[in-house]
Amino acid sequence: MQEHYNIEIEDLKKSLMRMAALVDEQIERAMKALRDNDIEVIKGIKAKDLEIDAYDNLIQTQCENVLALFQPVASDLRFILASIMINNNLERCGDIAVNIAQRVKKLTGNHQLLVESNLVEMAASARQMVKDAIDSFIGRDSQLARKVLQSDDVVDNLNREAFKYALSKMESENILIEPCAHLIVLSRQVERLADHATNIAENLIFYVEAEQVTHKKKLAKRESI
């Protein structure tokens, strides 16, 4: 029974790592398009998302099987629960990579707006957060995961700056209303990518340290009021 359990866990870990690698590749392609104004790199990105969706279904099934067959406890149970949540966030990151690619395509002739609004800088920060979140999961590195949590405020601040920049441009130059509307949506997608990286990091900390840090910052602010 123990040998069967170990095989199931190893298969689950392999599936998660393969999915994480696919998601990381998708995000890198989307970010390269955003950073370098290189639309060619995003060809086929939507089709590749179907492979991520297939892993999403597989991992959900693997987690359900382990819970039903072995009824894990303690750290093993935390691993399964964290895997379910990490899988969900990875799948959403894959979707967002597609959304970013599609929005960048609409801004092909207005790449300077992305630079001036600091959206390129924001995207680089969010991309690093996702990379660190994935690496923290693969290496069971809770300190790296905590670094991801600390980076979220940087992306939030840059998102606000991009929004203000876009509004200013829309008010002063009517011709830029449509591209700036795309910029606002793109900025929101990048910000959501950082949020999902944060979620992955929080679940890794829960698994490794048995500490629940989700919503900890928001709850602390509420208690201080």
What average pLDDT does the segment 190-203 reach?
98
Q: Please state, in angstroms and rounded to a whole number, the distance separating the CA atoms of residues 32 and 40.
A: 10
- Select from 94, 74, 113 the least CA-distant residue to 19: 94
- Select from 107, 88, 71, 87 the least CA-distant residue to 17: 87
What average pLDDT does the segment 177-182 reach?
98
* pLDDT at residue 214, rounded to an integer: 84
Q: Please state, in angstroms and rounded to a whole number, the distance separating the CA atoms of residues 104 and 2.
A: 49
pLDDT band per the 50, 70, 90 thresholds, residue 224:
low
* pLDDT at residue 217, rounded to an integer: 64
Q: Looking up tokens 């298969």, which residue turns up?
A: 11
pLDDT band per the 50, 70, 90 thresholds, residue 199:
very high
- Select from 196, 215, 210, 211 the least CA-distant residue to 77: 210
- Select from 69, 70, 55 the least CA-distant residue to 15: 55
pLDDT band per the 50, 70, 90 thresholds, residue 2:
confident
The answer to whether 180 touches 114, Cβ cutoff 8 Å, is no
The domains located in the chain, with CATH, are 2-224 (1.20.58.220)
* pLDDT at residue 225, rounded to an integer: 55
